[in-house]
């Protein structure tokens, strides 16, 4: 699992470079996210615009990461692709995440 990290002001921006988060990579994703987010930041934004596919294991991993961060330092998601958005919408998980259509202002030139 290839994740890149960037600090932008009070935001920790994590970009998933892999094109999928699935049963084969979910555990690795969770572990790497735990390590990366141990660095302090007010906000954590996960850019998923490269992720074309997410299964229920991948979804569970993203939920687990959000729970580990807690209700205050809420995990924010950005750039859900069509199939990923569909999985979030069907399972109603779109209602529990802060989801940005594209990277929040101030992060757009990142990367």
What's the min distance (Å) between Cβ of 111 and another protein? 25
Q: Is 24 in the site for another protein (CB under 8 A)?
A: yes
Q: Which of 35, 39, 42, 86 binds another protein (CB under 8 A)?
A: 86
Q: Is 98 in the site for another protein (CB under 8 A)?
A: no
Query: Binding to another protein (CB under 8 A): which residues in 44-83?
Result: 53, 55-57, 59-61, 63-64, 66-67, 71, 82-83
CA distances from 29 to 18, 84, 103, 107, 109 (A): 10, 16, 20, 22, 25
Number of CB atoms found within 10 A of residue 18's CB: 16
């Amino acid at each position: 699992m290839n994740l890149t990290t960037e600090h932008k002001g009070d935001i920790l921006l994590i970009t998933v470079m892999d094109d999928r988060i699935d049963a084969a990579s979910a555990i690795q994703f969770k572990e790497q996210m735990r390590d990366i987010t141990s660095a302090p930041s007010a906000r954590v934004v996960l850019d998923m615009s490269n992720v074309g596919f997410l299964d229920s294991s991948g979804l569970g991993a993203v939920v687990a990461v959000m729970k580990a961060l807690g209700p205050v330092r809420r995990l924010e998601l950005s750039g859900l692709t069509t199939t990923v958005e569909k999985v979030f919408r069907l399972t109603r998980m779109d209602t529990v995440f802060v989801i940005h259509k594209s990277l929040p202002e101030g992060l757009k030139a990142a990367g």
